[in-house]
Copies of this chain bind each other. A is one copy, B any other.
Amino acid sequence: MRRMTARPANAHQARLLRLLRDDGPNSRAQLGDRVDLSRSKLAVEVERLLETGLVVADGLAASRGGRRSHNIRLAPALRFLGVDIGATSIDVAVTNAELEVLGHINQPMDVREGPVAVFEQVLSMAAKLKASGLAEGFDGAGIGVPGPVRFPEGVPVAPPIMPGWDGFPVREALSQDLGCPVMVDNDVNLMAMGEQHAGVARTVGDFLCVKIGTGIGCGIVVGGEVYRGTTGSAGDIGHIQAVPDGRPCACGNRGCLEAHFSGAALARDAEEAARQGLSQELAARLETAGSLSAVDVAAAAVAGDATALDLIREGGNRTGQVIAGLVSFFNPGLVVIGGGVTGLGHTLLAAIRTQVYRQSLPLATGNLPIVLGELGPTAGVIGAARLISDHLFSPA
């Protein structure tokens, strides 16, 4: 099957495509109410979109007291690929043009294996999704990588946890292999876009999205748009100093937030506590599994283990202190907490909230919700699909 070749010819068409993506199928009349165009002009643009095949008119909607309207929807055969490359695993999903996830698979993988090995696996995962009949091909793909990206070119730059990726032309290479347009961004930014599109941040213009996984990062959304900074490293909060003269960090400094709290730090602390005999619960899990992860700590906490709860609380306090500073500075309308350690749940959230509400000024926190992400691991892949669809649904 031939994939999407056309692009919207003007801003009106782009606007209509995004409207159909975000609000689903609609009649011409309803579209007209939203885009501030005369019905005649709108009809012309819809007609052109129908000609290109980007949208289809399928059937009539129920009458609302008059002539029944034609349902206009995005071409049902359109498929986007959303790829979220984490430090230790890969998520790949197919979506339709409305960014609904049709299929989603996750496989363990260490980014440090390098781009070649990683993309080999990504391609095989994409092939698996195709083979299952969810897609005959992809019209575009969004890729998230766990490090800073030179966004326009889609190339990782100086990624600390991704040796071997520096300067690798991700966008170009994948675009060739997949045979479709590709956009690349930081995984944290994609999580923010995902929560904005389909999660807790749907109605908020300015918000922060803190992702605590193997590392810690923060997606920044200003006026509905992801802010990436001058060199693409905005939101890199893992190396903000959280503890003066604290633990040594891989970056060469001491006391970085990431050194004191993150998936990796938590696992290490838990193992140490287990070895020191501070927690039978954790010790038992260490015995069984040979090593511990954030998931084990979460399970121990649910079981009521005091040491696990303490570790989570302390980490939450550290994180909360840093977030409190960011809240004072940025004055967001919402703070979303997500990433692998979301499993730590309410204990973590409570610690963060306590610190932020105590340390930031009332004017900034008065009406500030601090919540867990709603989408879990699908936030990243939905954000990835949204990234490429934003690109494709913009004037050529």
| Pairwise interchain contact A364-B233, C-beta atoms closer than 8 A | yes
Interface residue A346 (Cβ < 8 Å from any Cβ of B):
no
Q: Does A32 contact B (CB under 8 A)?
A: no
Q: A148-B363, A158-B363, A222-B227 are in contact. Are A234 and B330 (CB under 8 A)?
A: yes
Query: In the bound complex, do residue A331 and residue B230 qualify as a contact, i.e. CB atoms below 8 Å apart?
Result: yes
In the complex, A322 has a CB within 8 A of chain B? yes
Complex Cα–Cα for A237 and B360 (A) = 10
Residues of B within 8 A of A359 (CB): 239, 241, 253
- Nearest-neighbor residue (CB-CB) of A208 within chain B: B329
Within 354-396 of A, Cβ neighbours of B (below 8 Å) are at 358-364, 366-368
Give complex CA distance A205, B218 in Å: 21
Cβ B331 vs Cβ A364 within 8 A: no
| Residue A315 lies at the interface, judged by CB distance under 8 Å to chain B | no
Nearest-neighbor residue (CB-CB) of A157 within chain B? B363
> Is the CB–CB distance between B241 and A366 below 8 Å?
no
Give the residues in chain B near A160, CB-CB below 8 Å.
Answer: 361
A236 contact set on B, CB distance < 8 A: 328-329, 331, 361, 363-364
Contacts of A205 in B (CB 8 A): 230
What is the CB-to-nearest-CB distance from A320 to chain B, in angstroms, rounded to a whole number? Answer: 11
A25 to B232, CA, bound (A): 37
Question: What residue in chain B is nearest A234 (Cβ atoms)?
Answer: B331
CA distance A143 to B230 in the complex (A): 30
Docked CA distance A157–B368 (Å): 16
A196 at interface by CB-CB < 8 Å: no
Residues of chain A in range 239-278 having any CB-CB distance to chain B below 8 Å: 239-241, 244, 251, 253
| CB neighbours of A31 from chain B (8 A) | none
State whether B322 touches A325 (Cβ < 8 A). yes
Please measure, in the bound complex, the distance between the C-alpha atom of A121 and the C-alpha atom of B332, giving whole angstroms: 36
The reply to whether A332 and B229 contact each other, CB–CB distance below 8 Å, is yes
Contact B328 A361 (CB under 8 A): no
Any B CB within 8 A of the CB of A38: no
* Residues of A308-357 contacting chain B, CB below 8 A: 321-322, 324-326, 328-333
- CB pair A331–B363 under 8 Å, yes or no, is no
Interface membership of A5, Cβ < 8 A: no
Give A234 Cβ to nearest chain B Cβ, in Å. Answer: 4
Neighbour of A325 across the interface among B206, B228, B232, B325, CB < 8 A? B325
Q: Does A132 contact B (CB under 8 A)?
A: no
* Interface pair B253/A230, CB less than 8 Å apart: no
A231 CB contact (under 8 Å) in B227, B233, B363: B363
Are B331 and A233 closer than 8 Å at their CB atoms?
yes
Say which residue of B206, B235, B239, B328 sits within 8 Å of A240 (CB atoms).
B328
Interface centre among A148, A326, A328, A332 (most CB of B within 10 A): A328
Nearest-neighbour CB distance to chain B for A361, whole angstroms, equals: 6
Most chain B beta carbons < 10 A, residue from A234, A244, A321, A366: A234
Residues 202-237 of chain A: 1 if any B CB is under 8 Å from the residue's CB, otherwise 0? 000110000000000010101000011111111111
